[in-house]
Amino acid sequence: MNKFIQRNINQLKRLKTKNTEGATKATVKRIDEIIKLYTERKISNKTTAENMIKGLTSDNKRERDKAFQKYKDNIKELKERQPLNQRMAETRKRKRKNTYLVNFLLYTLRKPKNERIKPAFTVNGRAFYVESFDVRSATIEAIQFPKEVIGKRILRYLTDEDDFNGLQNPEFVDLIKMLEEDEEFKDLVQFLRDFHYDNLFDAIKIAKVELVDDTGEKFNIMTENLTRTVNVSIYHRYIHTPITTNAETVKEAINKGHYIENECWINLLTDFYADTVMNERTRNRLTRDKVIEIIGRTDFSQKGASIQEMEAVFMTYGIQVRIYNFFAQLIYKYDPPKRNHHIKTLYAMVKNNHIYALNYDLKSIQQKQDCLMPSVRASTDYYLNEKEEPPK
For the stretch 20-54, pLDDT in tens is: 888 899 999 999 999 998 888 888 888 989 999 99
The confidence score (pLDDT) of residue 30 equals 92
Which residues lie below 8 Å from residue 165, measured CB to CB, with a gap of 6+?
none
Question: Is the predicted pLDDT of residue 352 greater than 50, yes or no?
Answer: yes
Question: Is the predicted pLDDT of residue 196 greater than 50, yes or no?
Answer: yes
Mean pLDDT across the chain, nearest whole number? 77
The confidence score (pLDDT) of residue 232 equals 40
In one-letter notation, the amino acid at residue 163 is: D
Least confident of 3-17, 69-83, 242-256: 242-256
102: three-class secondary structure by DSSP: strand
Characterise 167 by phi-psi region: left (phi > 0), alpha (psi -120 to 50), beta (else). beta
Q: What percent of the chain has pLDDT over 90?
A: 17
- Cα dihedral angle (111, 117, 120, 125), rounded to 10 degrees? 50
Question: Domains of the chain (ranges plus CATH)?
Answer: 3-90 (no CATH), 96-213 (no CATH), 250-366 (3.90.70)
The per-residue pLDDT for range 16-28, each reduced to its tens digit, is 998 988 889 999 9
The confidence score (pLDDT) of residue 392 equals 46
DSSP 8-state symbol, 133 = S
Question: Is the predicted pLDDT of residue 353 greater than 50, yes or no?
Answer: yes
The confidence score (pLDDT) of residue 223 equals 62
Least confident of 89-103, 172-186, 225-239: 225-239
The confidence score (pLDDT) of residue 244 equals 40
Identify whether the C-beta of residue 307 lies closer than 8 Å to the C-beta of residue 225. Answer: no
Q: How large is the average pLDDT for residues 87-92?
A: 67
Choose among 350, 344, 347: nearest CA to 322: 347
The confidence score (pLDDT) of residue 268 equals 85
Q: How remote is the C-alpha of 385 from its chain's centroid?
A: 46
Q: How large is the average pLDDT for residues 133-151?
A: 79
The confidence score (pLDDT) of residue 199 equals 64
The strand pair at 126-130 and 121-123 is best described as antiparallel
Instruction: Please give the model's pTM, rounded to 2 decimal places.
Output: 0.42
Residue 175 to residue 116: CA distance in whole angstroms: 31
Question: Is the predicted pLDDT of residue 91 greater than 80, yes or no?
Answer: no
Least confident of 201-205, 208-212, 324-328: 324-328
Q: How large is the average pLDDT for residues 129-133?
A: 78
- Cα dihedral angle (12, 15, 21, 23), rounded to 10 degrees? -50
The confidence score (pLDDT) of residue 312 equals 92
pLDDT band at 390 (very low <50, low <70, confident <90, very high): very low
Question: Is the predicted pLDDT of residue 95 greater than 70, yes or no?
Answer: no
Residue 377 to residue 188: CA distance in whole angstroms: 13
The confidence score (pLDDT) of residue 179 equals 87
Residue 83 to residue 86: CA distance in whole angstroms: 5
285: three-class secondary structure by DSSP: coil
The confidence score (pLDDT) of residue 32 equals 92
Question: Is the predicted pLDDT of residue 89 greater than 90, yes or no?
Answer: no
Q: How large is the average pLDDT for residues 251-278?
A: 69
Angle between helices 25-39 and 3-19 (to 10 degrees): 170
